[in-house]
Amino acid sequence: MTPLTFTLRNEPEERLDLSGLTPDRLAGMTPAEIAKLRVGTSRRPVAAGDIFKITGTDASNIVFSGGSGRFDRVGTEMTAGRIRVAGDVGARAGRRMAGGLLKIEGKAGVQAGSSMKNGRIEIDGDAGEGVGGPMAGEIHGMSGGLVIVRGKAGDRAGERMRRGIIALLKGCGDHAGLGMIAGTIVATGRVGRYPGHLMKRGSLLFDLKPAELSPTFVDCGRVEIAFPALFDRYLMEEGILDRPLLGPRPFRFGGDNAVLGKGEIMFARG
């Protein structure tokens, strides 16, 4: 079977809510039925058929041929299957995702992987602020799964995350791991102001010492524990990094002591 392919006809005039175009929701539907699904968000919303040329039959393998910064909520609540976007996406890609693979070959907007529970998101370009974070009014952010951003991420990556792994391969903005409850954030490159602000538990793993570390983190010196080697091996086996991040004796800071103080920031070089 050929992948179910949505080929973008023109840049949309309005933001599109693509949460309905996931493997779970499209299973068993014909292209004609899919074309009638409402995806627009304005007063006169467009249907999927107005925006995309729809071909293919395999709903478990969806391809968006051509992307746009107005593609919101791609892969929302998907539980299985695969979505590939050949281009950019807008806000909240992979929102509350519970399984499967979401591959974005361009940039992602704000809150990619917002409150995701499981599965894997790969973003080849930059990502906006709030990767894995909660939406307004929600208590917790990401609670499982893996997000890989191969470009730079914005502020507040991993806000209030409880579990899972976020890898940011060209650095990130301010307050990475803000209010983090548990989980792991990996970042290589420049990290913004006060990573781990208000974090209770969890691990922030960097290649370099952050330029601005909150004074409520305390220096624990260099540590010789098994975790860095294990995690380095995991990162390489998953294809996230091609060389060790932390090495055998990383530097460790404990905090945030303003809250519980059971989190850690580790980095290879001071």
Partner 1 sequence: MVAWIGSRTVPLSAAIEQVAKLLATSRCPVFSLDSDIHGCRSLIALAERVGATYDHVNGRDLVHEVALHTDIGGFFATATEVRRRADLIVVGGDLPTAHHDLLLSLAASKPDLSGGGRRRWFQINGKAASAGGGRPLRLPKAVEVGSPDYPVDAVLGILRASLAARKASAALANADAFLSAMAKARFPVFVCSHLTDVPSLAMLQGMLADINKTQRATALFLPADDDAWGMVLASTWMTGFPPRTGFSTGSPVYDPWLCDVDRMIAQKEADLHLWVSERDEAPPARRGGPPTIALVRGERPVAGAAATIRIGKAGLDHDGVVYASRIGTLRSVAATTPSDLPSVRTIVSHLQHALTGKDMPC
Give the residues lining the site for partner 1 (CB under 8 A): 13-15, 41-45, 69-70, 72, 91, 110-111, 134-138, 175, 178-179, 194, 197-198, 214-219, 256-259, 261
124 forms bridges with which residues in the sheet?
none
- Maximum Cα interatomic distance, the chain, rounded to a whole number of Å: 63
Shortest distance, CB of residue 270 to partner 1, whole angstroms? 15
**Among residues 65 and 257, whose Cβ is nearest to partner 1?**
257
With contact defined as beta carbons under 8 Å apart, do 165 and 194 qualify? no
**Among residues 171 and 177, whose Cβ is nearest to partner 1?**
177
Shortest distance, CB of residue 23 to partner 1, whole angstroms? 25
Please name the amino acid found at residue 201: R
Please name the amino acid found at residue 224: E
Shortest distance, CB of residue 127 to partner 1, whole angstroms? 14
Shortest distance, CB of residue 139 to partner 1, whole angstroms? 9
**Among residues 33 and 138, whose Cβ is nearest to partner 1?**
138
Give dist(CA 115, CA 96) in Å, integer. Answer: 5
Give dist(CA 49, CA 104) in Å, integer. Answer: 22
**Among residues 52 and 253, whose Cβ is nearest to partner 1?**
253
Q: How far is CA 245 from the centre of its chain?
A: 20
Q: Token digits for 147?
A: 């997000």
**Among residues 22 and 111, whose Cβ is nearest to partner 1?**
111
Q: Token digits for 55?
A: 């071909």
**Among residues 82 and 92, whose Cβ is nearest to partner 1?**
92
Shortest distance, CB of residue 12 to partner 1, whole angstroms? 10
Coil vs helix vs strand at 183: coil
95-101 contacts: CB < 8 A, separation 24 or more? 95/19, 95/135, 97/121, 97/145, 100/23, 100/75
Shortest distance, CB of residue 229 to partner 1, whole angstroms? 28
